[in-house]
């Protein structure tokens, strides 16, 4: 009985760790090359950083994203970005479902499949972002000026001369999410395999008693 309580509590806590990992851990890594100074600019942003910078009412860059004049090339990458966001949302929804099943149900196999599905969702997020969204920026297909950061065309085009995006990828938060859901998967499998062995022990005891 005590082991079941421990399983329920630990599984729910591990699953819910997905939320602080997704929100506060760095999720995007950007490295830009500044040719005029022959140096690199490095930045890591969490979802909370993105919200604080661009969407908070008191933010310096509030409304900045709405004023960007994106080119058709950038717009073509948006479905991949949206898909990666949907994969992240799906993984977090699965985290809540896993916690609920752990707390209120004895069906551990369900959590095995749910946690495996969450791992797949996070991997799909990596593939969508790094492959579909980020690759055109890092291979030169899309340049910095295509983001329409500055209204004046001449100055905007000069950005391509001085700044180039070299790295744009999912970082720590994605790996932490995989660790969280893999932890739930392995933790649950350990209990499932233990429970599968218990009836066999009881059967052996019954056979000994009959003898």
C-alpha 74/C-alpha 18 separation (Å) is 30
CA distances from 180 to 109, 128, 188 (A): 17, 20, 12
Longest alpha-carbon distance in the chain: 94
Confidence at residue 141, expressed as pLDDT on a 0 to 100 scale: 86
User: DSSP secondary-structure letter at 63?
Assistant: T
- Which 3 state secondary structure label does DSSP give 163? strand
Q: Which of 63-77, 93-107, 119-133, 164-178 has the lowest mean pLDDT?
A: 63-77
Q: How confident is the model at residue 71 (pLDDT cuts 50, 70, 90)?
A: confident
Measured between its terminal Cα atoms, the distance across the chain in Å is: 30
Mean pLDDT calculated for residue range 63-73: 65
C-alpha 21/C-alpha 174 separation (Å) is 8
Q: Are 142 and 112 in contact (CB under 8 A)?
A: no
Averaged confidence pLDDT in the chain: 84
pTM: 0.83
Confidence at residue 122, expressed as pLDDT on a 0 to 100 scale: 98
Q: How confident is the model at residue 62 (pLDDT cuts 50, 70, 90)?
A: low
Closest CA to 46 of 180, 177, 183: 177
125, exposed or middle or buried, with CB in 10 Å at 0-12, 13-18, 19+?
Answer: buried
Mean pLDDT calculated for residue range 38-43: 87
CA-CA-CA-CA torsion sign (31, 24, 17, 79): negative
């Amino acid at each position: 009985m005590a082991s079941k309580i421990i399983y329920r509590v630990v599984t729910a806590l591990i699953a819910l760790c997905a939320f602080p990992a997704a929100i506060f851990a760095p999720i995007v890594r950007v490295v830009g090359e500044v040719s005029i100074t022959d140096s690199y600019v490095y930045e890591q942003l969490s979802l909370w950083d993105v919200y604080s910078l661009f969407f908070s009412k008191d933010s310096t860059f509030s409304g900045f994203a709405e004023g960007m004049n994106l080119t058709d090339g950038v717009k073509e990458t948006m479905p991949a970005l949206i898909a990666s966001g949907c994969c992240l949302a799906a993984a977090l929804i699965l985290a809540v479902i896993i916690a609920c099943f752990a707390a209120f149900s004895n069906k551990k196999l369900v959590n095995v499949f749910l946690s495996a599905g969450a791992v797949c969702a996070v991997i799909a997020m990596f593939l969508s972002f790094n492959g579909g969204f980020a690759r055109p920026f890092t291979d030169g297909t899309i340049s910095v000026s295509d983001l329409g950061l500055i209204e004046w065309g001449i100055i905007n085009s000069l950005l391509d001369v001085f700044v180039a995006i070299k790295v744009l990828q999912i970082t720590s938060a994605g790996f932490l999410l995989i660790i969280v859901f893999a932890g739930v998967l392995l933790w649950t499998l350990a209990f499932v395999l233990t429970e599968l062995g218990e009836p066999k022990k009881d059967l052996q005891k019954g056979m000994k008693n009959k003898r």
